[in-house]
Structure 1
């Protein structure tokens, strides 16, 4: 097998025109250069240089290897440049997972800032609702995920960074008996028919735990797959609902939104990432962009 380093020495000898000149340029002794060329000729199984006066010139095989050495040298230089870009976070790939309401509220402004400063980094950005995005980070399928804080601690090596607390609001038909109240006690909703729009998991647990703290279990009459259709059911007078503030950016005209107290259900939103991500500039920058999106 041909040694790439010796091929570069051969290229230096051919370019310099003599072993002595190449030795001076490379900082070696002439005998060391000659030994390297001799070893390369053994690897190639053919003579690579021939003497011409006080210098040398390449044989056909020598010219062939010199041409390939030039290509390899450029490829190595390109690889080193690409690696430096990757280390600095200016290129590469970033895998991000999130749930729907976080996507609409947080990801667009954060990604706009990220793309401006890291245009060459490819971002694989996907919703994993109703599955838990935290699992994607724990199984090394994502670099960062937006999650509702899980009941159990994440696996070792996973860091949770708090982004915001997202309070739940009462969603009522516009003509509901409680619509005139500025703030609604959760117990006031105990006997109401409910429209549920939460999948099993941390979000539904937040609602059910708050109701349990208020002394009741909600009577769910309508199950919905998403917040928009749940709001439509409420507007039609089929029940009331609790929905997180982040899900109420757009709403039909037939509903009213009111704060809830005693207790106020709140879902804490976190960014989940591996501890090793501290050495990954795109990950840390996206985290900063998400924190900035929350502040704005």
Structure 2
């Protein structure tokens, strides 16, 4: 009989394309992956891996079994979801991921609520940029991810994932307090055409959105500084080294010397949760989505009251 954990290892190899990638995704050593694959080859009586330069590739038999493994693991997920739903209890372990400002702005309240309402549920979390978080959900490395869309640039979400809206996050521009545009009711992005920008690292989804949006407004931006952590971006603005986009979620406390002004035509990003459709009936997933929505609603109330 085929061993489920060895099929999980084969599935990880097929998805990651390497022994090291599979080991990282499964949180085991590369030797553990190699040992599991050697045992699986003995079980099926066929070669599943072949050398490919310094790495390995799946043989025809390996690819065939990997396709079945993916379906088997999906059915196992469905069975687990059905059993949890039938029991109706929020128990076990739930793994979540989110982009940094969502971790900062949502997760503390969400995890506190889950601990109070469902003490038998264990929660683990990690920071991941949206595209990486979606991939982690697909691979099964996390159960649920909080990701984002920009109003004019949606994040691709593959089939097989369910999603739920959490909140819309208004976007402002952060300026040094001595900037001549401070005090305005709103700013047109074209007024910042000559400004040095503080942006996200090149290649990240938010960085690509910023370039796309500024160029759509006829601006070829001068990116003076790049920083992944948003409070680092704000610290650079506080030093008078440029301007940056400042979403409200997870932004406080603002550093001294920085002021924000809304962007004309209401720029915003939509924050939502994604998870595998075959886990849709898991009470722990539903409890987490409910807690995220409640935290998102509280964020909206704070904003309406002026507590950005």
1:166-188 deviation per Cα after TM superposition (whole angstroms, max 9, x unaligned):
22211101001111312111110
- State the alpha-carbon separation in 1 of the partners of residues 242 and 129 from structure 2: 25
Match of 1:112 in 2: 112
- Whether 1:229 and 2:229 are equivalent positions in the alignment is no
- State the alpha-carbon separation in 1 of the partners of residues 126 and 90 from structure 2: 21
Match of 1:287 in 2: 289
Offset at residue 274 of structure 1 (A): 1.4
Query: Within 5 A, what are the aligned runs for 1:193-204?
Result: 193-197=196-200, 200-204=203-207
Bigger Rg, which one: 1
- Where do 5+ consecutive residues of structure 1 fail to align? 1-82
In structure 2, which of residues 172, 177, 185 is the aligned counterpart of residue 174 of structure 1?
177
Match of 1:215 in 2: 218
- Aligned-residue Cα RMSD (Å) equals 2.2
Match of 2:126 in 1: 126
- Where do 5+ consecutive residues of structure 2 fail to align? 1-82, 299-308
Length-normalised TM-score, structure 1: 0.66
Contact 2:100 2:229 in 1 (8 A): no
Match of 1:148 in 2: 148
Contact 2:198 2:243 in 1 (8 A): yes
Query: Within 5 A, what are the aligned runs for 1:22-171?
Result: 87-129=87-129, 132-149=132-149, 151=154, 153-171=156-174
Contact 2:93 2:122 in 1 (8 A): yes
Tell me: CA distance 1:269–1:130, structure 2 relative to 1, closer, same or farther (3 Å): closer
Match of 2:280, SS state, is helix
- Whether 1:258 and 2:261 are equivalent positions in the alignment is yes
- State the alpha-carbon separation in 1 of the partners of residues 134 and 99 from structure 2: 10
Contact 2:200 2:206 in 1 (8 A): no
Length-normalised TM-score, structure 2: 0.64
In structure 1, which of residues 145, 165, 184 is the aligned counterpart of residue 187 of structure 2?
184
Tell me: CA distance 1:198–1:169, structure 2 relative to 1, closer, same or farther (3 Å): farther
Contact 1:183 1:261 in 2 (8 A): yes
- State the alpha-carbon separation in 1 of the partners of residues 87 and 108 from structure 2: 26
Match of 1:207, SS state, is helix
- State the alpha-carbon separation in 2 of the partners of residues 119 and 173 from structure 1: 45
- State the alpha-carbon separation in 2 of the partners of residues 166 and 198 from structure 1: 21
- State the alpha-carbon separation in 1 of the partners of residues 250 and 293 from structure 2: 19
Match of 1:268 in 2: 270
- State the alpha-carbon separation in 1 of the partners of residues 200 and 280 from structure 2: 36
Tell me: CA distance 1:164–1:130, structure 2 relative to 1, closer, same or farther (3 Å): closer
Offset at residue 189 of structure 1 (A): 0.5
Contact 1:148 1:203 in 2 (8 A): no
Contact 2:91 2:121 in 1 (8 A): yes
- State the alpha-carbon separation in 1 of the partners of residues 169 and 138 from structure 2: 24
